[in-house]
């Protein structure tokens, strides 16, 4: 079928229960954003395309005078979601500016390298804190896997933070030696 990646996020959320585009966006911001983002500029046009393709159905559900459209999966949408889940995942991309800087850290001096590592560590620890704040909510959900994924995030960022600390002390040890040699 060749849906956009955002299309599958939408199908995934609608697989749980019917909801509006706005609600999908706020759930994305609270959950999948750590490994898969989506903006209004993608979500609303994609909702229209999915409806045209017959994978979802919209129903007007105004709240007072505030217009609102709630979407649900059709039978075809359920099939599409299941097929996608059964396919081998392909996208696995990382964009890590700290790692890029570390890669070029020979041009930064050993003080510079230490700062890059410290900043990277700090950043991962912030992510750990953010995810730990979310964790209880994920655990309370009727669905089981959101919590599994949150735990992945916590453990992964903690691992990365620990790696930074470990490498920083290895580097500091090596530097002391180098200083003795050059002294």
Partner DNA sequence: GCATGCATGTAAGGAGTTACATGATTCA
Partner DNA sequence: TGAATCATGTAACTCCTTACATGCATGC
Alpha carbon 86 to its chain centroid, in Å, reads 20
- Contact characters 88-127, DNA, x per CB under 7 A: -------x--------------------------------
**Spatial CB neighbours of 153, under 8 Å, sequence gap ≥ 6:** 34, 35, 127, 131
Rg (Cα) of the chain, in Å, rounded?
22
* Longest alpha-carbon distance in the chain: 78
Beta-carbon contacts of residue 122 (< 8 Å; ≥ 6 apart)? none
CA–CA distance, 152 with 131 (Å, rounded to integer):
10
CA atoms within 13 A on the CB side of 84: 21
Touching a second copy, residues 109-168 (CB under 8 A): 112-113, 115-116, 119-120, 123, 127, 143-146, 148-149, 152, 155-156, 159-160, 163, 167
- Return the SS3 of 66: strand
By beta-carbon proximity to DNA, the closer residue of 47 and 168 is 47
User: What does 26 interact with, of a second copy, DNA, none (CB < 5 to 8 A by kind)?
Assistant: DNA
Residues in the chain, how many?
A: 183
* 64 binding partner (options a second copy, DNA, none; Cβ < 5 to 8 Å by kind): DNA
Find the binding residues for DNA in span 43-72 (CB under 7 A): 44-45, 47-48, 63-70
State how far Cα 103 lies from the chain centre.
24
Q: Is 36 in the site for a second copy (CB under 8 A)?
A: yes
Which residues are at the interface with DNA (CB under 7 A)?
4-6, 20-23, 25-26, 37-42, 44-45, 47-48, 63-70, 95
Which residues are at the interface with a second copy (CB under 8 A)?
5, 8-9, 12-13, 15-16, 31-32, 34-36, 81-82, 84-86, 88-108, 112-113, 115-116, 119-120, 123, 127, 143-146, 148-149, 152, 155-156, 159-160, 163, 167
């Amino acid at each position: 079928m060749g849906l956009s990646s955002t299309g599958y996020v939408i199908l995934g959320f609608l697989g749980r229960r019917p909801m509006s585009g706005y609600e999908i966006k706020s759930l994305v911001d609270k959950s999948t954003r750590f490994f898969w983002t989506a903006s209004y500029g993608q979500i609303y046009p994609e909702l229209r395309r999915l409806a045209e393709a017959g994978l979802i159905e919209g129903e007007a559900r105004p709240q007072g005078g505030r217009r609102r459209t709630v979407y649900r999966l059709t039978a075809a949408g359920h099939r599409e979601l299941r097929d996608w889940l059964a396919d081998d995942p392909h996208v696995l991309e990382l964009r890590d500016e700290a790692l890029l800087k570390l890669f070029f850290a020979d041009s930064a001096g050993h003080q510079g390298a230490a700062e890059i590592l410290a900043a990277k560590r700090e950043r991962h620890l912030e992510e750990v804190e953010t995810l730990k704040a979310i964790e209880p909510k994920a655990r309370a959900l009727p669905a089981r896997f959101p919590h599994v994924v949150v735990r992945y995030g916590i453990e992964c960022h903690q691992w990365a933070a620990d790696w930074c600390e470990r490498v920083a002390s290895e580097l500091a040890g090596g530097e002391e030696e180098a200083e003795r040699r050059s002294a």
